[in-house]
Amino acid sequence: MTTKRCCFATILLTVLVAAHAAAGEHRRRVIIDQDAFGPAGSNLQAILMLLQAPDVEVLGITIVSGDGWRDEEVDHTLRLLEIAGRTDVPVIPGAVLPLVNSAARTKVWESAYGKLFYKGAWTEQWPDQGVARRAPHPMNPYLVPPSPAGAPHIKAADDVAANFLVREVRRYPGEVTLIAAGPLTNVALAARLDPKFSSRVLQLVVMGGSFNPTAAQNAFAAEYVNSPRREFNMRFDPEAASLVLHEPWPKITEVPIDPTTKTFFTAEMRAHIAHGQAPFAAYIGEFGQSYPMWDELAVAVWLDPSIVTRSERLLVDVDTSFTAGYGNTLSWPMGEGPGLGEQPVEVVQDIDLKKFEALALELLSRPASKK
């Protein structure tokens, strides 16, 4: 009897291990490339949604300057992972500066064509958007001011984002989704480092661009209400964006400003998450701020494509002419582009708002997903 029981236990353990391994093999692999300015906010909440999704394996978080400078964003991300209990996920620093664009070029452009509403890391004074912002440091990209969420104890990976992206995609060819939720500098560098990089990625999901958004009833609409084709992620590094959009990705999904204008992270949502079971509940309760849910939506569209109620397949590029339209989104119907290597892009135009909000709140309120 003892032998039989031992044999049964061994068989059962083998079955359970095999089932666990099979489940692990079917987890969706993703890397998020992010300008992770914080604490909290849309950038970091998008990361948390991926970490909380039970069927997702986050291979790493690559950091690019955008809303803030890279090193400060790295610190915010590391601290977030400590609070979330996910220090197993590597954070890899990437590009500090765009490929061509610069603070000096931006000032020259503004002198000719008018002030930009928002300049991210180059912002001299934060616009009045009804949210708390710390003092900017546009000319000192390596300064890391103390964060109100505290300093991290863990360190970033001793690696470079472009190298990491290339290596992980080679490791899992055809299996990795890349969600690019900030300027596309890191992605462009990876594409130039390895000519086969883009073709080995399963799917590229981009948060950025603007086509014909309906102005929202909040202060953030000032970015696009008079310039509907301008959007920050593309405008910060237009050359990188154009390069990336000409790469032969198997699939590109773009979540532009258009469907995000109906989203907003309200005080009620923050309170709901603060009273939830996630390890970062108190963090969101203290530092969460009311923004449109730009990056959360990009993540949600990948997690559950049924959120999308309307999309269109277009050829898309970004204006790099350094004229009035520098950084603007360019688009053509299929077959009507200039024929310079433009790739087909599935552009999300509208969403099921209630379904999206329910998914975001569920993920950000649930207990931590098992590693």
Is residue 364 within 8 Å of 49, Cβ to Cβ? Answer: yes
Average pLDDT over residues 33-57: 96
pLDDT given at position 233: 98
* 21-35, 82-96, 206-220: least confidently modelled range: 21-35
Q: Where are the alpha helices (DSSP H) in the chain?
A: 2-25, 41-52, 70-84, 103-113, 161-171, 185-193, 197-200, 232-236, 238-245, 257-260, 267-274, 281-287, 294-303, 353-365
Average pLDDT over residues 319-339: 97
Q: Band of the pLDDT at 128, cuts 50, 70, 90?
A: low
> Helix, strand, or coil here: 219?
helix
Q: Band of the pLDDT at 1, cuts 50, 70, 90?
A: very low
pLDDT given at position 216: 85
Average pLDDT over residues 193-212: 98
Q: CB-hemisphere CA count at 13 Å for 34? A: 33
Question: From CA 13, how far away is CA 9, in angstroms rounded?
Answer: 6
Is residue 297 within 8 Å of 309, Cβ to Cβ? Answer: no
pLDDT given at position 221: 84
**pLDDT by residue (tens digit) across 283-313?**
999 999 899 999 999 999 999 999 999 999 9
pLDDT at 7 over 70: no
Mean pLDDT over each residue of the chain, to the nearest integer: 91
Is residue 280 within 8 Å of 45, Cβ to Cβ? Answer: no
